[in-house]
Amino acid sequence: MGKSWDGGIVEGSCIPQTFIPYILDLYRKGVFPIDAIVTRFGFEDINGAFKAGRTGKAIKPVVVF
């Protein structure tokens, strides 16, 4: 009790072996708008990526190396 986690969630309670192929299938069919939810940041703006994720300005911030 009294513990909290602010490190984000990776896949939640999903099983990656089934969930990832499912999401890829939806993307290929044009149903899952991954391009609309991903915001890309250059490595030089890594702090901006973290801030955008924390503040909700980016749904899925991705740092590109």
pLDDT digits (tens, 9 = 90+) for 5-36: 566 666 567 888 998 999 999 999 999 998 89
Q: Is residue 17 part of a domain?
A: no
**40, amino acid identity:** R
Q: Is residue 60 part of a domain?
A: yes
What is the H or E stretch that residue 16 is in?
Answer: helix 16-28
Q: Is residue 10 part of a domain?
A: no
Encoded tokens for 47: 């702090």
Give backbone dihedrals phi and psi of 19, rounded to 5 degrees, phi first: -70, -45
Q: Is 24 helix (H, G, I), strand (E, B) or coil?
A: helix
What CA–CA distances, in Å, run from 15 to 7, 19, 23, 45? 20, 6, 12, 32
Q: Is residue 21 part of a domain?
A: no
Under DSSP, the state recorded for 7 is S
The whole domain housing 58 covers: 33-65
What pTM was computed for the model? Answer: 0.61
